[in-house]
Amino acid sequence: EVYNPNGKYRVISTKSMPGTRWINLLIEQDCRLEICTQKKTILSVEDIISLIGDRCDGVIGQLTEDWGETLFSALSRAGGKAFSNMAVGYNNVDVNAANKYGVAVGNTPGVLTETTAELAASLSLAAARRIVEADEFMRAGLYDGWLPHLFVGNLLKGQTVGVIGAGRIGSAYARMMVEGFKMNLIYYDLYQATRLEKFVTGMSYGQFLKANGEQPVTWKRASSMDEVLREADVEAILINCSRGPVIDEVALVEHLRANPMFRVGLDVFEDEPYMKPGLSEMKNAIVVPHIASASKWTREGMATLAALNVLGKIKGYPIWGDPNR
């Protein structure tokens, strides 16, 4: 699919992306935009090399693609100066290789913070209240009347939520769980967790609860990941909305099997798009296909930022998301 065929700068998007704002931005700025229409979900390095061809000024790519030495050298040979991932994560991008070939790299931070945190909160609630299991039970026609023991789950209020990684998304999630569900908080981060600390230390919410005769919430910075796991009550529920390999999925399946009360909500998988054997049969696991950032507003925002990143480099404006910064 080609937009503005006579545009001066050739920009490629390896996938169609939501919204039209990103398309308009590029064509208004004299770009010839080519959107790859290949049906397969994951493009190989070879597929992308043939898209780049002999001349290409910039590429908008996806987190499923392997942006390493081979692709950056091909892009640089074609005169390309800019690449943007349509994602905040860039573990699929070798930034050193991009630097070596003089290609600027961008990502899309900010626009997906709340959307991703909302999915993490949704998974937490769905796991705590066994919503997916209960839905399956209803659809299977098994409900034959109210029972005291039917799908009893956990109350979140007053329990301690543990957050590992208190960056933008972790902090937004922590805030939702504390303010929304009156949970206590323990968090861990390798770095100063400025965003979260501003929230917890300046938090008048605890005082508000106290003034209203409620138990005030507590919060604490942990000195290790183990401390979080030891102290968090939502230890019985594990949510992963980051990247699959942070969890050993084989060990997880064993643990789920041995501990039916342990629950997990997964948006990402160790060997994505595949799940390790056994995981799909586990009733105490909720699995969704990497949709944490999938709200219309966010996905359109990500597409727009990715286009701005590429355009920025071509036109000499600053790049929004720059991992080198």
For ligand DGY, the binding residues (CB under 6 A) are 63, 87-89, 112, 293
Residue 243: active-site member: yes
Catalytic residue (one of 235, 243, 255, 300): 243
Q: Is residue 290 annotated as a catalytic residue, yes or no?
A: yes
**To the nearest whole angstrom, how small is the minimum distance from the Cβ of residue 293 to ligand DGY?**
3
Our CB check for ligand DGY shows the closer of 119 and 252 to be 119
Q: Which residue in the list 69, 133, 231, 272 is annotated as catalytic?
A: 272
Q: Which among 24, 28, 1, 25 is positioned nearest to 12, based on CA atoms?
A: 1
For ligand DGY, the closer of residues 7 and 265 by Cβ is 265
CB of 255 to ligand DGY, least distance (A): 24
Question: Which residue's CB is nearer to ligand DGY, number 11 or number 88?
Answer: 88
Q: How far is the CB of 131 from ligand DGY (least distance, A)?
A: 23
Catalytic residue among 290, 299, 300, 325: 290
The minimum distance between CB 89 and ligand DGY, in angstroms, equals 3
Q: Which residue is nearest to ligand DGY (CB)?
A: 89
Nearer to ligand DGY, 63 or 266 (CB): 63
Between CA 215 and CA 256 the distance in angstroms is 33
Closer residue to ligand DGY (CB): 243 or 276: 243
CB of 113 to ligand DGY, least distance (A): 10
**What is the set of active-site residues?**
243, 272, 290
